[in-house]
């Protein structure tokens, strides 16, 4: 328990949540006309708050806060800015926050995307409600990443649904009602399974005689994640399965159901395209950029850390699910005629990479998964920003509705080409590093464990297919036409606009960071590598060595 200032609870979680609630309550009590008038000021307030958060996390990266450990050399199980307050003493529920090299990149990514999202959707309608909701979204997401208490983790996990539900419902497209309900019910159902797993985990843990502190005075049990992980580590050290073999397998599956649906993985992915297509641009950016990664983050934080035996037991299924997501997502992408749906399915495909990386049970593969979470978190918001601008300007999401975009909207065309190229894994852009590492880790794993080389066919095939669907869509939007092609009917003869200045700024920043992390991946990769190495050396390797 470190001393000093709690930089997480208030500045990163409390500030956005409280300020958004205050703003929304305030807005709820004024007239419609006043709401319209207050829009720009509320937008500016939201932007300033998001900048404060970005400033805090960026200073954390540079190690400017007092008494913090270096991100890349932290021990497994130790956290920076760890703070803990009693919440419900009788059950052992506490408000505990802290960050390690697993959560910090995600937190930074969230604070990075908040101002980007606000700027990219600067002219969104109903601004006085929209921007506080974006802030609330950010606060809830950060809450998930910094929570070190199972109860708190679950509360924030579900809290993220609420602003997203309203973003889709109020700012969405034609079928927004159906999409928002499907999104909510689908992921909520999965979370309930996860909740059952968490409660069972709570009840099944060994009861402590000496209570108080982390342990509930009434139950003698704890919700504290590091404590539970250390229990698991102790059991592993004795060569035993934490909580017993069958229990561990059941709990692993229950937790994974929640995370796999969130990730999402085929066949639990169908909420995603609907949600994305209907969601407003800002919602899509945060949904694809951060919310999907909650699933991958949760896997690393809970089931993989607590139930490593079960993880090894289910290795084949993890690899199979990852492979299916990767290939199926890419193939379905090729069959899409809707630009945003295509991008949504490409997210499914990319999330498959994360699962495959995890399944390799190699530090390289895990680092690949972590870096993919991060890189995709920068690239996919750009893709959705492009889709949003496309829809805004051409009133259609159909590929081919507008051709010769390079002529009419050079900025949008350039952004699109950049984003597409980044997403298909062009070297020197962030996505390539993750894909390369996954590729190497997978082959290394297959060769070392004598698995069939045919597992390699999937990723190889997808490399070609991904290029195919992106290039195909570019051929039909950016290229062709120009002078000869007239603007689409939906424009009614109006001149074709290019994207607004605020959108240009957002695109340029996202592109710059994609290049930055493509050329200098070590900025983020060093700490991820440190985390995976610590994880493997202190937890996983004994199990991998021992076998099941």
| Binding residues among 409-428 for other proteins as defined by CB under 8 A | 421, 426-428
CB-wise, 290 or 525, nearer to other proteins?
Answer: 525
Whole-angstrom distance, CA of residue 397 vs CA of residue 338: 6
User: Shortest gap between Cβ of 174 and other proteins (angstroms)?
Assistant: 16
How far from 434 is each of 251, 292, 372, 446, CA to CA, in Å?
30, 17, 5, 18
> Which of 480, 500, 505, 516 touches other proteins by CB under 8 A?
480
The CA distance from 336 to 398, in Å, is 9
Backbone phi and psi for residue 254, each to the nearest 5 degrees, phi listed first: -60, -45
Our finding on whether 448 is near other proteins (CB under 8 A) is yes
As measured in angstroms, the least distance from the Cβ of 161 to other proteins is: 17
Residue 339 and residue 76: Cα distance in Å, rounded?
Answer: 42
Q: Which is nearer to other proteins, 16 or 487 (CB)?
A: 487
73 lines the binding site for other proteins (CB under 8 A) = no
Q: Residue 452: phi, psi to the nearest 5? A: -65, 140
- The distance of closest approach from Cβ of residue 22 to other proteins in the complex, given in angstroms and rounded to an integer, is 37
Give yes or no for residue 275 binding other proteins (CB under 8 A).
no
CA angle 323, 326, 327 (to 5 degrees): 85
> Taking the complex as a whole, how short is the minimal distance between the CB of residue 482 and other proteins, in angstroms?
3
Spell out the SS3 assignment of 13-76.
HHHHHHHHHHHHHHHHCCCHHHHHHHHHHHHHHHHHHHHHHHHHHHHHHCCCCCCCCCHHHCCC
105 binds other proteins (CB under 8 A): no
Q: Among residues 232 and 336, whose Cβ is nearest to other proteins?
A: 336
- Side-chain half-sphere of 501: how many Cα atoms within 13 Å? 0
Helix (H, G, I), strand (E, B) or coil at 348: helix
Q: Which one, 10 or 457, has the nearer CB to other proteins?
A: 457
Beta bridge partners of 224: 149
Compare residues 172 and 481 and give the one whose CB is closer to other proteins. Answer: 481
**451 near other proteins, judged by CB under 8 A:** no
Sign of CA dihedral 537, 543, 544, 545: positive
Alpha carbons within 13 A on the beta-carbon side of 165: 13
Query: By CB under 8 A, what part of segment 456-475 binds other proteins?
Result: 456, 460-461, 463-465, 467-468, 471-472, 474-475
CB neighbours (10 Å) of residue 508? 14
Q: Does residue 45 touch other proteins according to CB under 8 A?
A: no
Interface with other proteins includes 380 (CB under 8 A)?
Answer: no
We find the least distance from the C-beta atom of residue 468 to other proteins, in angstroms, to be 6
Q: From 49, 99, 53, select the one nearest 74 (Cα to Cα).
A: 99
CB burial class (10 A; 0-12, 13-18, 19+) of residue 284? Answer: buried
Closest separation between CB of residue 109 and other proteins, Å?
Answer: 18
Q: Smallest Cα–Cα separation from 375: which of 106, 140, 119?
A: 106
Window of 29-37, 160-168, 218-226, 538-546 that interacts with other proteins by CB under 8 A: 538-546
Cβ-based nearer residue to other proteins, 386 or 429: 429
| Per-residue interface string for the shown chain with other proteins, residues 108-147, x marking contact by CB under 8 A | ----------------------------------------
Shortest approach of other proteins to residue 4 CB, angstroms?
31
Give dist(CA 318, CA 315) in Å, integer.
Answer: 5
Of 30, 537, 546, 548, the residue at the interface with other proteins (CB under 8 A) is 537
3-state secondary structure of 217: coil
Beta bridge partners of 241: none
**Residue 75 binds to other proteins (criterion: CB under 8 A):** no
Cβ nearer to other proteins, comparing 295 with 329: 329
Please tell me whether residue 542 binds other proteins under the rule CB under 8 A.
yes
Q: How far is the CB of 529 from other proteins (least distance, A)?
A: 5
**Chain residues 316-345 in contact with other proteins, contact rule CB under 8 A:** 328, 331-336
Residues of span 481-510 touching other proteins by CB under 8 A: 481-489, 491-493
CA dist., res. 110 & res. 344, Å (int):
19
Q: What is the DSSP string of 137-173?
A: HHHHHHHHHHB-BHHHHHHHHHHTHHHHHHHHHHH--
CA dist 325 and 312 (Å) reads 20
For other proteins, the closer of residues 192 and 489 by Cβ is 489
φ, ψ at 173 (rounded to 5°): -85, -150
- Using CB under 8 A, which residues numbered 245 to 274 contact other proteins? 246-247, 250, 266-267, 269-271
Select 159 or 204, whichever has its Cβ closest to other proteins. 204
Closest CB 358 distance from other proteins, rounded Å: 14
61 vs 461, which CB is nearer to other proteins?
Answer: 461
Q: What residues from 204 to 233 belong to the interface with other proteins (CB under 8 A)?
A: 204
Using the minimum distance from each CB to other proteins, give the nearer residue, 217 or 337: 337
110 or 265: whose CB is closer to other proteins? 265
Say which DSSP state 92 is in: T
């Amino acid at each position: 328990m470190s001393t000093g200032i709690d930089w997480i609870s208030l500045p990163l979680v409390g500030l956005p949540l409280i300020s958004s609630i205050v703003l929304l309550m305030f807005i709820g009590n004024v007239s419609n006309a006043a709401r319209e008038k207050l829009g720009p000021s509320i937008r500016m307030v939201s932007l300033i708050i998001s900048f404060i958060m970005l400033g805090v996390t960026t200073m954390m990266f540079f190690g400017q806060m007092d008494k913090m450990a270096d991100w890349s050399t932290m021990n497994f199980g130790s956290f920076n800015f760890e703070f803990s307050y009693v919440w419900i003493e009788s059950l052992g529920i506490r408000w505990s926050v802290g960050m390690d090299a697993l959560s910090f990149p995600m937190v930074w990514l969230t604070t990075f995307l908040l101002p980007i999202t606000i700027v990219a959707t600067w002219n969104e309608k109903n601004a006085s409600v929209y921007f506080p909701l974006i802030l609330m979204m950010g606060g809830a997401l950060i809450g998930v990443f910094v929570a070190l208490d199972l109860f708190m983790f679950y509360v924030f996990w579900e809290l993220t649904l609420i602003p997203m539900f309203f973003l889709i419902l109020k700012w969405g497209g034609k079928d927004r009602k159906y999409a928002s309900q499907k999104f909510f019910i689908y992921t909520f159902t999965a979370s309930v399974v996860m909740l059952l797993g968490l409660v069972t985990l709570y009840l099944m843990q060994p009861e402590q005689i000496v209570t108080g502190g982390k342990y509930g005075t009434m139950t003698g049990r704890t919700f504290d994640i590091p404590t539970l992980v250390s229990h698991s580590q102790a059991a592993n050290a004795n060569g035993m399965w934490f909580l017993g073999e069958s229990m561990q397998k059941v709990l692993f599956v229950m937790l994974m159901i929640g995370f796999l649906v969130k990730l999402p993985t085929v066949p639990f992915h169908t909420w995603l395209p609907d949600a994305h297509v209907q969601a407003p641009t800002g919602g899509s950016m945060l949904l694809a950029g951060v919310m999907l990664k909650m699933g991958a983050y949760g896997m690393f934080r809970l089931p993989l850390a607590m139930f490593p035996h079960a993880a090894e037991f289910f290795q084949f299924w993890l690899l199979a699910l990852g492979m299916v997501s990767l290939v199926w997502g890419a193939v379905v992408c090729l069959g899409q005629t809707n630009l945003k749906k295509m991008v949504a399915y490409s997210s499914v495909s990319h999330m498959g990479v994360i699962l495959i990386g995890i399944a390799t049970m190699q530090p390289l593969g895990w680092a690949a998964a972590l870096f993919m979470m991060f890189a995709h978190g920068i690239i996919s918001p750009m893709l959705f920003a492009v889709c949003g601008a496309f829809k805004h300007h051409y009133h259609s999401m159909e590929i081919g509705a507008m051709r010769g975009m390079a002529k009419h909207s050079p900025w949008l065309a350039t952004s699109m080409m950049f984003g597409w190229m980044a997403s298909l894994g062009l070297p020197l852009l962030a996505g390539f590093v993750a894909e390369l590492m996954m590729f190497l880790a997978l082959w290394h794993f297959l060769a070392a464990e004598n698995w069939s080389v045919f597992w390699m066919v999937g990723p190889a095939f997808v490399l070609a297919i991904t290029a195919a669907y992106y290039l195909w869509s570019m051929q039909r939007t950016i290229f062709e036409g120009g002078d000869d092609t007239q603007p689409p009917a939906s424009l009614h003869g109006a001149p074709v606009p290019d994207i607004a200045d605020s959108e240009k700024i957002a695109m340029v920043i996202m592109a710059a960071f994609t290049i930055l992390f493509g050329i200098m991946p070590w900025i983020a990769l060093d700490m991820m590598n440190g985390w995976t190495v610590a994880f493997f050396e202190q937890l996983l390797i004994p199990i991998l060595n021992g076998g099941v």
